[in-house]
């Protein structure tokens, strides 16, 4: 039984590796079919960035990276891989903090995260690193279009990555690419049940959807995507770029 | 049909106001029953902090607040309510940033958020403000115990609030109180499918569950709680306090 207003988050398993040039949509739809699922109108597809990066070839062999003396020193001091540090710096347009082995950067897209999102897990056992997609909003738009072409329906797509945050321990998922829906739910001009005008309530539903999907997308289990059903999103041209606070309005950069 | 690994997030509607001394558990169970739902083993209950604060009497009439000269000046400059500013400061143990009408504080619990979490929406139309519960982990433990007493099952409880964050626009839900489950999913000692040892992957599932619930808990619709089913949480004595990064290890305080 589906209860009114119920949200459903369904993991999509993918067998085998995603390789450069693969169609992620084809793989995910095949996977859904084999699980007896189908994407329907109203669904949202959340995809972890890693398979998008892999399909786009945003993967770097670590033996091709020549770390600078400074990266080598820093890496040695904190028992890190100098090549991964070098890659992180190469993907940054600015270092936000660098302390105690933690490197927080602003990526070329504007995201603030650890080591520019460069990641060695779930790739090939430590030989290569995955970068963030070059333009994740564009990647999301491309997946969105491909679903429309194949199924004839408009399914919003969210590309998610796992970021840390200040003040709180533990990582959570965030949206790094979005297509087909608004990223915010905007209560700012509405009134609550008591007639009080809501002030600062701009809810980042794209990030919350990424988190909901993160609960079912294991880091270990070959589950790089999820279908979210039952969320009444607002269709539109939302982009994850809107989630980036401009540096000049940010109190913590 | 429920698919393997599927997560379900079901909104719980509550009619009428929550008042000091009310049993939230009683209200929520009655609401569930009227919706044809029941809490079962494996479910998690997510409750927005506001009804917890109201039941605990953590509500302050604004006409009882005497703002200081400094609060009055600051409020006037940015068209804020000086009494709300004063309350925010009174709930803080430290001001983290104060700029452009935004006041980011460290609350007495250690949470870093805007105006110490003091909130005037969804209370009584602007006459009173709701504070965070005095000890939200304790509040969660108390709700957890009451469910056990009434239903004989152990249902983890998460108390959620809506916080902003640096670097990203929009608010998301976070866990401010937890009982009955671990707050983290810990991949740090595990290996991925390629045998690569995962390094920094401590996932804050409590916050992700709060976000998932946030998607169905409207700011406007009298839906102050949600049941999450299908998440394989780890039972235990997790507390939201564990989600607070100690100031000395925080790069942004």
Residue B202 covered by a domain: yes
Q: What pLDDT was estimated at residue B44? A: 98
List alpha helices for chain A, DSSP H: 24-34, 49-56, 69-77, 82-90, 136-151, 205-216
Is B1 a domain residue? Answer: no
**Interface mutation target, options B42, B43, B80, B121, chain A, most CBs of A under 10 Å:** B121
The CATH number that applies at residue A27 is: 3.30.1330.100
pLDDT of residue A1: 41
Q: Does A74 touch chain B (CB under 8 A)?
A: no
Residues B38 and B78 in one domain: no
Strand order in the sheet with B102-107: B92-99, B102-107, B112-114
- Mean pLDDT, range B27-53, rounded to an integer: 95
Regarding whether A69 and A22 lie in a shared domain, the answer is no
Q: Average the pLDDT over B209-236 and give the result.
A: 92
Is the Cβ–Cβ distance between B88 and B130 less than 8 Å?
no
The CATH number of the domain holding residue B82 is 3.90.1660.10
Same domain assignment for residues A47 and A153: yes
Give the tens place of pLDDT for each residue, A173-196: 999 999 999 999 988 777 777 777
Mark yes or no for CB contact B125/A99 under 8 Å: no
Which residue bears the tokens 């009584």? B124
Domain end among B78, B113, B128: B128
Is the residue at B3 inside a domain?
A: no
Both B170 and B53 in one domain: the answer is yes
Tell me, yes or no, whether B101 and B211 share the same domain: no
How many Å from the N-terminal Cα to the C-terminal Cα in chain B?
Answer: 48
B61 pairs with which residues across the strands?
A: B128
Query: A38 touching B, CB under 8 A?
Result: no
Report the sign of the C-alpha dihedral through residues A63, A67, A71, A72, in that order: positive
Question: pLDDT tens string for chain A (253 positions)?
Answer: 445 689 999 999 988 889 999 999 999 999 999 999 999 999 999 999 999 999 999 999 999 999 999 999 999 999 999 999 999 999 999 999 999 889 999 999 999 999 999 998 877 878 999 999 999 999 999 999 999 999 999 999 999 999 999 999 999 999 999 999 999 998 877 777 777 776 668 999 999 999 999 999 976 668 999 999 999 999 999 999 999 999 888 998 8
- Tell me if A222 and B193 make a contact (CB, 8 A cut-off): yes
| Structural domain harbouring A87 | 60-128
Assess if residue B23 is contained within a domain: yes
| Interchain pair A172, B211: CB under 8 A | yes
pLDDT for B123: 79
Structure tokens at A6: 């119920």
Same domain? B39 vs B93: no
Q: Write down the mean pLDDT value for chain B.
A: 93
Residues of B in contact with A169 (CB under 8 A): 184, 202, 204, 242-245
Query: What's residue B193's pLDDT?
Result: 77
* Model pLDDT, residue B97: 94
Q: Under a CB-based contact definition with an 8 Å cutoff, are residues B226 and B11 in contact?
A: yes
Q: How far is B143 from chain A (nearest CA, A)?
A: 23
Minimal CA separation from A49 to chain B, in Å:
16
Residues B111 and B161 in one domain: no
Cα–Cα distance, B217 to B176 (Å, whole number): 16
Q: How far apart are CA B104 and CA B88, in angstroms?
A: 9
Express as a percent the part of chain B with pLDDT over 70.
96
Whether residue B143 is predicted with pLDDT greater than 70 in this model: the reply is yes
Whether residue A251 lies inside any domain: the answer is no
Shared domain for A174 and A76, answered yes or no, is no
Give the number of domains in chain B.
2
The tokens describing B246, both together, are 């100690």
Q: Which of B11, B38, B170, B233 to mutate to test the interface with A (most CBs of A within 10 A)?
A: B170
Please tell me whether residues A36 and A157 are part of one structural domain.
Answer: yes
CB contact under 8 A, A215 and B35: no
Same structural domain for residues A75 and A121? yes
The torsion angles phi and psi of B200, rounded to 5 degrees, stand at: -105, 40
Q: Per DSSP, what are the bridge partners of residue B44?
A: B228
Determine the Cα–Cα distance for residues B102 and B83; give it in Å rounded to an integer.
15
Tell how strand B128-130 and strand B157-163 pair up. unpaired
- Same-domain pairing of A117 and A164: no
Examine the fold and report which residue of B128, B144, B170 is the final residue of a domain before the chain moves on: B128
The residue out of B128, B143, B170 marking a domain boundary is B128
Q: Is residue A48 one of the residues assigned to a domain?
A: yes
């Amino acid at each position: 039984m589906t209860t009114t207003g119920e949200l459903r988050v369904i993991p999509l398993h993918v067998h085998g590796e995603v390789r450069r040039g693969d169609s992620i949509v084809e793989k995910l739809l095949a996977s859904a079919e084999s699980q007896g699922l189908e994407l329907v109108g109203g669904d949202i597809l959340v995809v972890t960035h890693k398979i998008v990066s892999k399909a786009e070839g945003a993967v770097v062999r670590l033996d091709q990276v020549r770390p600078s003396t400074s990266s080598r020193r820093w890496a040695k001091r904190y028992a890190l891989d100098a090549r991964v540090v070098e890659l992180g710096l190469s993907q940054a347009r600015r270092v936000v903090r660098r302390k105690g082995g933690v490197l927080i950067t602003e990526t070329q897209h504007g995201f603030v995260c650890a080591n520019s999102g460069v990641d060695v897990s779930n790739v090939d056992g430590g030989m290569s690193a995955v970068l963030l997609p070059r333009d994740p909003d564009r990647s999301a738009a491309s997946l969105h279009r491909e679903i429309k072409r194949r199924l004839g329906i408009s399914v919003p797509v969210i590309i998610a990555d796992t970021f840390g945050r200040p003040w709180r321990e533990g990582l959570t998922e965030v949206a790094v690419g979005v297509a087909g829906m608004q990223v915010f739910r905007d209560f700012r001009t509405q009134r609550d049940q008591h007639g009080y005008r809501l002030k600062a309530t701009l809810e980042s539903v794209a990030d919350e959807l990424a988190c909901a999907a993160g609960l079912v997308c294991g880091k270990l289990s070959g589950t790089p995507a999820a279908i979210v059903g039952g969320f009444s999103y607002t269709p539109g041209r939302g982009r994850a770029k809107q989630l980036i606070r401009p540096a000049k309005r940010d109190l913590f950069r």
